[in-house]
Structure 1
Amino acid sequence: MQFETLAGMTLVGANQGTDDTLDSDPSGDGKVAVTVVSGVGNQTVDAGVVPAKLGDYVWLDTNGDGKQDAGEPPVAGITVALLDKAGAPVLDVAGNAVTTLTDAAGKYQFVVLPGEYSVKFTLPTGAAFTQAAQGTAEQDSNADTTTGSTASVTLASGASDQTLDAGLARHALAVWC
């Protein structure tokens, strides 16, 4: 039997557990030997894919320069939605949009299959985004000031992109904080 992987996907190491713990069976080439016995099922052959990570930070841009500066505080409780390469919400197995909230440190993260993704930040009524693309990839705001969505990024197995940030404009915050 051979498992095929999509471009950018890497299988996890083979046989790192037992069949009861849902270990991954194939080697790096995706092949696994299986003995088939008539009338007997085998529910122990499976494969794991090395995930990718996507995320980062939402902060209050107190000086309005579009860059994360020392002393500018994180913003907790902002909803962040995971979008596919077409900009549509990624759905979980129950058909719900995959979202998360920024934590007390303003951080968020998604663990995903390799692929192309973007995120969309949803702000409370009256809030606004600061200007985008004003600093380095690690320090700028990536949220489109109108839609709240970022450009898409492509992630391979094991990759981590922790640069999709959103800065909130201070002048708009007085309405909701």
Structure 2
Amino acid sequence: MTWATATHGSPLGSIGNLVFNDANYDGVFDAGDSPLAGVTVDMIQDSNENDAWDAGEPILATVTTNAALDASNGNYIFLGVPAGRFLIHVSDTNGALLDYNQGSLGQPDTDNHSQSDPYVVVLASGDSSVLADFGYYVRIQPSVGLIGNHRGWTTMAMACTARAAAMKNWPA
């Protein structure tokens, strides 16, 4: 965690939990899904409490997800968090999600269900929240090729190539 925790007069809490590959696109971390490693997640102070990241609202901490699940069935956690209103945002500054799209949302405020990004957490003194879960699915890339300076489907490129070869032998 990159946020230096200060001594506060009240007990500190934690916020976490999971960034995952939602293999079946259902918005729920379940059988067949797996944690995604190397994804950066930010904790932002929602100073004006409007549930949006506004100019001047600081990133308080950044963590990077792990490949393995911890005891709370998560792969990231912010520790030593004081009471307050925070936004949890998947920033992915490492580019671990370049081949992924955010998947379907699960039930709001439910553990192991994908939430909207940023996800709002209101933390009371000493509390913990493990509901900041985000599901992603592998982006399906169409098979494409180049014809001149135009992109086209590979099958189209193959058909044009075959037609050009056939025309080459066409009688004049």
CA change 1:134–1:173 in 2 (3 A) is farther
Corresponding position of 1:122: 91
Question: After the TM superposition, which segments of 4 or more aligned residues of structure 1 sit over 2 Å from their partners?
Answer: 46-49, 86-91, 122-127, 133-136, 170-174
Kindly indicate which of the two structures has a greater share of residues assigned to strand: 2
CA contact (8 A) 2:27 2:104 kept: yes
CA change 1:61–1:75 in 2 (3 A) is same
Corresponding position of 2:152: none
Partner SS for 1:132: coil
CA contact (8 A) 2:44 2:88 kept: yes
Corresponding position of 1:102: 65
Gaps in structure 1 of 5+ consecutive residues? 1-45, 92-97
Partner SS for 1:164: strand
Tell me the CA shift for residue 135 of structure 1: 7.1
Pick one of 113, 117, 124 that aligns with 1:156: 124
Larger Rg: 2
CA change 1:65–1:135 in 2 (3 A) is farther
Kindly indicate which of the two structures has a greater share of residues assigned to helix: 2
Matches within 5 A, 1:15-30: none
Partner SS for 1:81: strand
CA contact (8 A) 1:63 1:170 kept: no
CA change 1:90–1:135 in 2 (3 A) is closer
Gaps in structure 2 of 5+ consecutive residues? 1-6, 48-52, 70-74, 143-172
Q: Deviations over 1:137-163 (max 9, x none)?
A: 01211133xxxx21x121111100001
Q: Deviations over 1:26-63 (max 9, x none)?
A: xxxxxxxxxxxxxxxxxxxx874310110101111001
Higher relative contact order (CA 8 A, sep 6+): 2
Tell me the CA shift for residue 79 of structure 1: 0.2
Pick one of 132, 137, 144 that aligns with 1:169: 137
Q: Give the Cα separation in 2 of the matches to 1:155 and 1:134.
A: 20
RMSD: 2.5
Q: Deviations over 1:118-151 (max 9, x none)?
A: 211024334211111347701211133xxxx21x
CA change 1:172–1:129 in 2 (3 A) is farther
TM-score scaled by structure 2?
Answer: 0.60
CA change 1:134–1:113 in 2 (3 A) is closer
Pick one of 14, 18, 25 that aligns with 1:64: 25
TM-score scaled by structure 1?
Answer: 0.58
Corresponding position of 1:89: 58
